Amino acid sequence: MRSVILASMRTYARRYVAAFVAVLIATGFIVAINTLSAAAREGANETVGKQYLGADVAATDATGPRQYGELRTRALADPDVTAAAVNWRGWAEATLSRGSQMVSLGSVATDRHLRWQETRSGRLPTADAEIAISSSWARRHHVRLGDSLSIDAGTKPRAFTVTGIVDDQDGPLRSVLYVPERVFPGLGDIGAPVDEVFAVSGDPSAVASRLDRATSGVKVATADAYERTLRLQATNGIDVFQKLILVFAAISLFVGALVIANTFTILLAQRARDLALLRCVGAVRAQVARSVVVEGLVIGAVGAAAGVVLGYLIALGGKAAIGHWSPSTPMGGASLTMGSVLLPVLLGIAVTVAASYVPARRAGAQSPLAALQPQEAVQVRTRAGTLRLVTATGFLLAGAAGLLVGLQSVLVAGLIGGMLSFIGVLLLTPVLVPVAIRLVGPLARRAGVPGRLAHGNSMRNPRRTAATSAALLIGVTLITAVVVGSASISHKVNTSLDENHPIDLIAASAKGALPQGIGAKLAAVDGVKQAVQLPGVEARVGDQKMTILGVDNATRALVRGNVLRHLGPHDIMISGDTGTEASGETVAVKAGGTVRKLSVRYAAGIGDAAIVSRATLDAMGVATAPRAVWVRAADGADAGAVASDVASIAKESNLDLSGGLSERADILKLLAIVLAITVGFLAIAVLIALIGVSNTLSLSVLERVRENSLLRAMGLERSGLRAMLAIEALLMAGVSAVLGIGLGTLYAWFGVKTLSDGVFDSAPDLSVPWVQVGAIFLVAVGAGLVACVLPARQAARIAPAAGLVAD
């Protein structure tokens, strides 16, 4: 059989290319996703890990510097503790090139083993009058080594000399300026300790346990445990990257298996006559099966090995693209591990062998003469068709149960349920796809003879039509699920931010009117889109004295979301948690000699003042004066720089500053990281879908050389043959695209409900981006049409006489 195997692989090398490409792409898909996911998680871990690189134990929740100092004394008495440092962070007014700026201020550990800042030039500060500055701010304000800058700390400014320019860092300890740790306590109340860290020579767990028992009111844990807590805090207690890796790794395994199996099913269906001929000349069933298994093993091994290389190259390209389009996204190194290589290789080999063995066993189970006859399609009323329906129903029911369990925050159950239900759908495609094609038959028949022939070909062999459509169905379902799921989560995040942080920045006067021209100053800040002054008056709301501000249409346009949409002339809006406080109660509002009964509405993120419409404020008949300025940052502006510039102006004018700009920017940055990774996965999914549909449509066309030649012999012209194949491809691609979009949307709903548990108070509603979904449909239909162009041209070039005797 060895000679037969080698001869077969030489003879059908062109057909094996399709199977090889399927293994190559599927394996590369898995490797690329795992590598990119690992790089994303490594980047997120490094963001926090860099700042605690030398720490083995960390202490938090102390009441203040004194308690941290007592813990430091007690810790250094432990023989296993070799170094200790308190990480400080605060805000101070610094004099830079653009005048006074409110900037964040951090500390540099006294012990060099616990210093985490990396200098780009110069050195870290060690003396009391030395300071370091982040590279972005040094570049922005033209600060160089040796320059002097001052910090307003308490009664008088303190001068510092810049000794180092450090790399910008994300994470909880990031700051603009850094002073020695011992300097911080003498700067007044501009900062506070974040935590205290220790380097130890023994077992960190044992040291943490001893210090935790010896100190009351302070939480002591290993640095690894503390870093894990910080990472989870950055994602609302949910390890987003762990879920991302799990979901896409499982999807990649599943999609890869389906594409390989589908391609091999079509390939070996074409070889049914060859396998039957081997039986006729004396080969037994086991020999036929072994020959096919060996062929699959060779193709799987070579394709999987090449897929590892391809996947790694795609991951490198994806990492470079993310770095270019989203430079703020932290990404680790793209490296391959033994597990990340062995898993896809073993999968590629196993799936290829399994996919090749099943058709071979089916051919061997028939008598040689029967196998040489044309195969009939599986019909519902046959035993095979009934078995297929029963099996598909079982998979659908099991999958539905898994999806429902997944809604209870059981991610693994949801993944398994989605896979089982999708297998059930694929088993039903010989029934679903022909029914759908039958419905659009009248449109196809309007194209004349080619349209009628194309429609008849699609209906005549449901198994072949379903197998050809399956590749595109897989790709469209996956792409739609990713697009709709991402849009739903993005919409929910932005809606939640609009509800909780509707106003970017609020500069308000604690007493009296605003200084003259303050609104124009804030509007002129680089990165500010709009700044509006609000008139107000001191009033008594119920039994509480507060400022009341009046909003007009310009102010409503500045506010994000719909917080002020329903504020009517008889309403007053007060800051509060909308989830716990019910609106609708009536309160007496007294301003001057006027008393009005207004209906209370609660909203988050509007500041300490009460809000009424401008018409309501004017109707009170009291003198008003500008009491606050609401600021909205431009989309894409540097939130830190805008907040710092506005804070500097507010402090000069003795105004209180509040608003959710910084928190909003941090959350949107995290969302951008997740979406950037998802876009990379989506690009790979598009590639595998296009390759899959191209392979299967090409094989389907090549399978019917005799049929096409017979049509040519009966008078069908070349243009008519090409039109017939194009219409047939459009029918299958269009039906697959519609089914895939519907399934993808359904899976996106289940996925969003499952993945968002614990992240949001309420699960996101399904948000369908119709423009993108429409683009998916057009690309899918176009892919089907393009995939048949080359095979159709080749089929049209074959002379009818030559095609009728082709093997």
Residues 6+ apart with CB under 8 A from 109: 85, 87, 115, 116, 181, 197
3-state secondary structure 730-759: HHHHHHHHHHHHHHHHHHHHHHHHHHCECC
Give yes or no for a contact between 422 and 392, defined as CB atoms under 8 angstroms apart.
no
Q: Indicate the DSSP class of residue 123.
A: -
- Based on its alpha-carbon atoms, the radius of gyration of the chain, rounded to whole angstroms, reads 34
Give yes or no for a contact between 547 and 537, defined as CB atoms under 8 angstroms apart.
yes
- Flag residues of the chain having pLDDT under 50: 236-239, 375-378, 380, 578-582
Q: Count CB-CB contacts under 10 A for residue 544.
A: 10
Separation of alpha carbons 73 and 84, rounded Å: 9
Going 369 to 375 to 380 to 386, the CA torsion angle's sign is positive
Best CA proximity match to 731, nearest among 785, 796, 772? 785
Give yes or no for a contact between 722 and 797, defined as CB atoms under 8 angstroms apart.
no
In the block, which residue shows the tokens 């303190």?
158
Give yes or no for a contact between 479 and 744, defined as CB atoms under 8 angstroms apart.
yes
Q: What is the pLDDT of residue 353?
A: 80
3-state secondary structure of 91: strand
Q: What is the pLDDT of residue 648?
A: 80
Q: What is the pLDDT of residue 373?
A: 57
Give yes or no for a contact between 758 and 494, defined as CB atoms under 8 angstroms apart.
no
- Report domain extents, the chain: 1-54+228-375, 62-217, 432-501+663-807, 502-659
Q: Which two tokens stand for residue 283?
A: 């080969």
Task: List beta partners, residue 162.
Answer: 131
Task: List beta partners, residue 191.
Answer: 90
Q: What is the dihedral of CA 283, 285, 286, 291, to 10 degrees?
A: 60
Separation of alpha carbons 106 and 109, rounded Å: 10
Q: What is the pLDDT of residue 719?
A: 82
Cα–chain-centroid distance for residue 464? 36
Phi, psi of 629 (to 5 degrees): -125, 125
Separation of alpha carbons 730 and 697, rounded Å: 11
Q: What is the pLDDT of residue 256?
A: 61
Strand residues in 576-616 grouped as ranges (E): 586-591, 594-603, 610-613
Q: Indicate the DSSP class of residue 112.
A: G
Residue 543 burial (10 A CB sphere; 0-12, 13-18, 19+): exposed
Q: What is the pLDDT of residue 622?
A: 84
Separation of alpha carbons 135 and 112, rounded Å: 21
Q: What is the pLDDT of residue 741?
A: 92
